[in-house]
């Protein structure tokens, strides 16, 4: 391994010297050709994981510029690029040892486990669709989307275990699994807004309408979603090490924001709980407004599961993407700290479904823009007479 890096270093130094020294183009090309020829003679060994590392040359032509003031001739630059050729033949599923060329996985992924969780999340999807139809809660499409994204994530993970050389399948799995929890977050925010509207006598908290609170947190969740989407889409296995590190930092920033928003939201929920606890007669109300405490505890539980998952991702990415990171090289961590918490979070919303507690016409909270329209109604005018000059007199109502 040491000799390999020494050779790569020497070839890189030779190329830099050749590029920075004002020599004719033919000499430069001959030097590059010689460097490539020398590097390509490296043979695989146990220390290089049976992969051939060498320097390839890319030719870049810079066009010349000619105008009334100056004439700059064009020039061709040869850039040395470290390249790797995998000499190990992938198995039937496309598996290659971690850390070698074209290896997408840091362990051998389990096909059966991925299929089991795809089926489990698929069942939760069907149940949530049925519950949304039965309770006639249109906003439940958000939790249905969470289920669909989790199902798609594990479906593509199962496919990727059989096609481990497919970068496209692997990237689709990564995007679905990284972003699916944000749908659960958004659903929790929407549920608490409707709980404030339905249970709180003033239909507000902190002098803010319930719909405004829900809209504010959903907007923050959307911002986190976009940031994580950018980071997740940039972290493809074919990206350069620099781009992957940048993508990890962007994703960690987005997931950190997500946790901050969760903590702020829990503070709002605790204030709602304190206000509701003062109204003890609500638990004895015959009007059907019961179960707020059970639904609120369910929201706490789902947010706790999401927090476990966030902490797992933060620790996983903060320790680097090399094969010495145990969170990356052991599949058990993924299922225990990612798959199981999200399954329990969505399942808890099946067991305590908001539609079974937020019942009746008064549970239908108006949207954010409808609330603004009600708070600031459009001014209208009526005719109350005519002036001496014949102009109409109008009065604002």
**Percentage of the chain exceeding pLDDT 70:** 72
The tally of CA atoms less than 13 A away on the side-chain side of residue 72 is 7
Query: Domains along the chain?
Result: 2-86 (no CATH), 111-375 (1.20.1070)
In the chain, the N- to C-terminal Cα span, in Å, equals 84
Q: How high is the pLDDT of residue 278?
A: 84
Q: What does the radius of gyration of the chain's CA atoms come to, in whole angstroms?
A: 30
Greater confidence, 63 or 157?
Answer: 157
CB atoms within 10 A of CB 276: 18
Distances (CA, A) of 13 to 6, 9, 35, 372: 11, 6, 10, 66
- CB contact at 8 A, 327 and 319: yes
Choose among 197, 185, 195, 189: nearest CA to 214: 189
**Percentage of the chain exceeding pLDDT 90:** 48
Greater confidence, 257 or 362?
Answer: 257
223-233 pLDDT per residue, tens: 999 999 998 88
Rounded distance between C-alpha atoms, residue 160 and residue 175, angstroms: 13
Q: How high is the pLDDT of residue 262?
A: 97
Over residues 354-370, the mean pLDDT reads: 80
- CB contact at 8 A, 363 and 140: no
Q: 141-162 and 340-351 are packed helices; what angle lies between their axes, rounded to 10 degrees?
A: 150
Rounded distance between C-alpha atoms, residue 337 and residue 308, angstroms: 7
Per-residue pLDDT at 13 exceeds 90: no
- CB contact at 8 A, 124 and 345: no
Q: How high is the pLDDT of residue 279?
A: 80
CA angle 24, 27, 33 (to 5 degrees): 140
Rounded distance between C-alpha atoms, residue 14 and residue 9, angstroms: 9
Lowest-pLDDT range of 28-32, 49-53, 269-273, 352-356: 28-32
Q: For the chain, how are helix, strand and coil distributed in percent, rounded to 5?
A: 65, 10, 25
pLDDT band with cut points at 50, 70 and 90 for residue 89:
confident
pLDDT band with cut points at 50, 70 and 90 for residue 9:
very low
Looking at residue 339, what DSSP letter applies? I
Per-residue pLDDT at 46 exceeds 70: no
Give the pTM. Answer: 0.73
Rounded distance between C-alpha atoms, residue 204 and residue 210, angstroms: 5
- CB contact at 8 A, 288 and 360: yes
């Amino acid at each position: 391994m040491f000799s390999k890096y020494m050779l790569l270093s020497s070839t890189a130094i030779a190329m830099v010297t050749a590029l920075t020294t004002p020599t004719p183009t033919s000499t430069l090309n001959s030097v590059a050709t010689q460097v490539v020829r020398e590097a390509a003679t490296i043979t695989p060994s146990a220390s290089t994981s049976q992969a051939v590392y060498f320097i390839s040359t890319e030719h870049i032509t810079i066009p010349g510029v000619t105008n009334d003031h100056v004439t700059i001739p064009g020039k061709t630059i040869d850039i040395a690029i470290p390249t790797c050729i995998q000499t190990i033949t992938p198995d039937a599923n496309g598996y290659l040892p971690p850390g070698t060329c074209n290896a997408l996985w840091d362990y051998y992924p389990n096909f059966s486990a991925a299929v089991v969780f795809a089926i489990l999340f698929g069942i939760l999807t069907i149940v949530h669709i049925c519950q949304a139809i039965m309770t006639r809660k249109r906003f439940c499409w958000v939790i249905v989307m969470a289920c669909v994204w989790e199902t798609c994530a594990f479906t593509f993970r199962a496919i990727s275990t059989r096609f481990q050389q497919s970068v496209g399948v692997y990237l689709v799995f990564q995007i679905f699994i990284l972003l699916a929890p944000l749908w659960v977050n958004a659903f929790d925010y929407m549920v608490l807004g409707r709980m404030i509207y339905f249970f709180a006598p003033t239909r507000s908290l902190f002098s803010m309408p319930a719909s405004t609170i829900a809209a504010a947190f959903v907007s923050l969740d959307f911002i986190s979603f976009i940031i994580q989407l950018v980071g997740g889409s940039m972290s493809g296995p074919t990206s350069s090490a620099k781009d992957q590190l940048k993508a990890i930092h962007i994703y960690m920033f987005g997931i950190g924001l997500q946790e901050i928003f969760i903590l702020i939201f829990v503070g709002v929920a605790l204030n709602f709980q304190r206000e509701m606890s003062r109204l003890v007669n609500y638990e004895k109300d015959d009007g059907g407004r019961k179960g707020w405490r059970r639904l609120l505890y369910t929201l706490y539980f789902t947010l706790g599961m999401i927090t476990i998952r966030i902490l797992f991702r933060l620790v996983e990415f903060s320790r680097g993407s090399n094969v010495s990171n145990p969170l990356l090289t052991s599949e058990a961590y993924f299922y225990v700290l990612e798959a199981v918490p999200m399954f329990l979070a969505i399942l808890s919303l099946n067991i305590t479904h908001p539609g079974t507690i937020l019942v009746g016409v008064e549970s239908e909270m108006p949207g954010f823009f409808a609330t603004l329209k009600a708070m600031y109604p459009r001014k209208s005018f009526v005719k109350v007479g005519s002036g001496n000059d014949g102009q109409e007199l109008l009065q604002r109502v």
